Amino acid sequence: MATAKKTEDAFAMSFDPSKFAVNFREFAEKGAVQSKEAYAKMKTAAEEATKTVEATFENAQSGSVELGLKAIDALRTNAENSLSHMEALLGVRSIPELVELQTGFIRKQAELAVEQAKTMQEATRKVAENVAKPSKEAAEKAMSSFKRV
């Protein structure tokens, strides 16, 4: 009987239910706080990612409109030049005049094509930079937050 009482007393001393409840409550509260903090960080990250995607789509849309307008302008210019050339061809009176007119038109169209290609290339470069800008800024922000941690 004495041995059973000693074991019971030893168990009672090492396991205090009130301390266990306090420790468990502290653990649960700490876990809840950490969960709330993690949720807040995830929510902020998701909101920032959404803003980045929206900005990227807006830039892509406005850029494609800009490129489309430039392409239409180039097509309009080429069509007007071709019609003017056709009108000029109708007034040709000799073969040498035809050759000279045709040579001048081809040279002018080649120069215009180079100019239009440069314009489209520059516009495309700007659009690409604008489309990539929100993602680049988000990546830089993310990298800087990693450096701080």
Q: What is the pLDDT of residues 10-52, one digit of tens each?
A: 555 566 666 777 777 888 888 888 888 888 888 888 888 888 8
In tens, the pLDDT along 82-135 reads 999 999 999 999 999 999 999 999 999 999 999 999 999 999 999 999 988 888
Distance, in Å, from the CA atom of 64 to the CA atom of 40, rounded to the nearest integer, reads: 36
pLDDT in the model for residue 15: 60
Q: 59: how many CB neighbours lie within 10 A of its CB?
A: 19
With contact defined as beta carbons under 8 Å apart, do 64 and 127 qualify? yes
pLDDT of res. 127: 92
Contact 48, 138 (CB under 8 A): yes
CA 62 to each of CA 37, 58, 65, 119: distance values in angstroms, whole numbers, following the listed order: 38, 6, 5, 17
Q: Using the predicted structure, report yes or no on whether residue 9 has a pLDDT greater than 80.
A: no
- Please calculate the CA angle 29-30-35 and round it to the nearest 5 degrees: 95
Four-point Cα dihedral 135, 140, 143, 145, nearest 10: -110
Quick one: pLDDT band at residue 138, thresholds 50, 70, 90?
Answer: confident
Whole-model pTM above 0.85? no
Structure tokens at 13: 């001393």
CB distance 140 to 51 below 8 Å: no
